[in-house]
Amino acid sequence: MNLAKGDGTLRVGVDGHILTGKFQGSRRWLINILREVASLDRGHTYVVYSFDPDQSARLLGSGPFEHRRLPEGAAAFRLLCHLPIAASRDQLDVLLTQYHVPPICPCRRVVVIHDTLFESHPWLFPPVMRMRLQLGCRWSAHHADATITVSRFSAGEIAARYHVPPEKLFVARNGVDPLAIPDRDDREDIAALSPFLLCVGRIEPRKKIDLALRATERARAAGVKLVIVGADEHWNAEPLSGQNVMRFEAVTDSKLLALYAGATALLFPSQCEGFGLPVLEALRFGTPVLASGLTAIPEAGGALARYFDPMQADAVETLGRMIDEELVARRRLDPDEVAQHLAAFNWGASAHAVIEALERALRQNANA
């Protein structure tokens, strides 16, 4: 490994603006990657820039972290001004950012592009957001010293759409901690909801929560609850109301684990995903998963999930039948099969991929 400093240590800057933001998969990915990378690579220092350094420090725990405050303001100011200035001031060797890299930066740049759904499904995104992502991610993928993504599906999309060469593209998949268990109080609280079906994810049209609502009407009329966990993106999603529907904007990690463990089934009817972390997290507890078979979702669910096409005209009836079957069977997945599947999704392996991406950027620095 060619390091920028003679003593073999690096200063890695991390754009952590999402660390203290809304509940989403990219936030969970970054938290777990930073925890794991820090434990694997303690010779280096990670300078984390976030809107609330104290909260970020609590999230990440002890480790080789330095926490810096990001100023409130537009993302453009953060990328164009603050991070490049901070990179020089804090003597960074490499900067890790989400989706976009600063056009001008005094150190090497590594970008994380979780998905390119704004390219493959542009109609699902507001015009301004779509244009910003398309222009910014295309430019960033071309100019970054390395690109990281979270699934093989997304890697294929990035390679095809942005012509990123294989040696500059790294897959750091989402993972799960198979030993994580919810607190006793949360387990008891969630047990009182049983039987219930679970949906997890931000409330936006592509998640197809309206399909889950219609598919569960018969079960809910019979007393089965539908529990929905996710922030409202205000993208004209269907109203989340109706008989036996419970909604949580956000929950603690322990409560979310208890929901995954206690659900009769996870419903994941999303039209498109760059990965599908709720699928993996439900499988960890042996909870049956009824999921869309589109984009990257089967990569997360493998042979353990049951799939349907949410875009078909009979999708509501198909999912309704699958729900009825799970309510009758009340099955749990085989622990050995779950363990075998989860072995391919661990944060340690993903952290190694992130370190490889940083090494790639630094090799370019040494050879420049």
> DSSP for 140-202?
HHHHSSEEEESSHHHHHHHHHHH---GGGEEE------TT----HHHHHHHHTT-SEEEEES-
Place of tokens 């200063």: 11
More confident residue, 368 or 44: 44
Determine if the peptide bond prior to 195 is cis (ω within 30°): yes
Phi and psi at residue 24, to the nearest 5°: -160, 160
User: Sheet holding 45-50: strands in order across?
Assistant: 65-69, 45-50, 11-15, 94-98, 108-112, 146-149, 169-171
pLDDT at 8: 58
Using a pLDDT cut of 90, give the percent of the chain over it: 79
Q: What is the DSSP letter of 271?
A: S
Candidates 346, 340, 261; CA nearest to 304 is 340
Domain ranges of the chain: 11-175+346-363, 184-342
pLDDT at 22 over 80: no
Using a pLDDT cut of 70, give the percent of the chain over it: 93
Task: In whole angstroms, give the CA distance from residue 108 to residue 296.
Answer: 30
Which CATH superfamily, name and number, covers 11-175+346-363?
A: Glycogen Phosphorylase B; (3.40.50.2000)
**Count H helices, E strands: the chain?**
16, 13
Phi and psi at residue 296, to the nearest 5°: -90, -5
On average, the pLDDT of the chain sits at 91
pLDDT at 2: 36
Q: What confidence tens digit (pLDDT) does each residue in 46-75 have?
A: 999 999 999 999 999 999 999 999 998 888
Q: What confidence tens digit (pLDDT) does each residue in 103-134 have?
A: 999 999 999 999 999 999 999 999 999 999 99
Mean pLDDT of 27-35: 93
Q: What is the DSSP letter of 275?
A: S
pLDDT at 214: 95
pLDDT at 234: 56
Using an 8 Å Cβ cutoff, are 12 and 49 in contact? no
Q: What confidence tens digit (pLDDT) does each residue in 149-158 have?
A: 999 999 999 9
Phi and psi at residue 248, to the nearest 5°: -125, 125
Largest separation between any pair of C-alpha atoms in the chain? 68
Task: In whole angstroms, give the CA distance from residue 229 to residue 282.
Answer: 13
Phi and psi at residue 103, to the nearest 5°: -60, -35
Distance of CA 104 to CAs 59, 143, 308, Å? 30, 10, 45
Task: In whole angstroms, give the CA distance from residue 281 to residue 253.
Answer: 12
pLDDT at 21 over 90: no
pLDDT at 4: 47
pLDDT at 25: 81
pLDDT at 133: 95
Q: What confidence tens digit (pLDDT) does each residue in 344-354 have?
A: 999 999 999 99
Candidates 75, 76, 60; CA nearest to 28 is 60
Nearby residues of 321 by Cβ (< 8 Å), 6 or more positions away: none
Distance of CA 75 to CAs 99, 103, 105, Å? 11, 13, 16
> 247: part of which helix (H) or strand (E)?
strand 245-248
Fold agreement between 11-175+346-363 and 184-342: yes
Task: In whole angstroms, give the CA distance from residue 277 to residue 174.
Answer: 7
pLDDT at 239: 59
Buried b (16+ CB within 10 A) or exposed e, 115-148: bbbbbebeebbeeeebebbbebbbebbeebbbbb
Yes or no: is domain 184-342 CATH 3.40.50.2000? Answer: yes
Q: What confidence tens digit (pLDDT) does each residue in 182-214 have?
A: 999 999 999 999 999 999 988 888 999 999 999
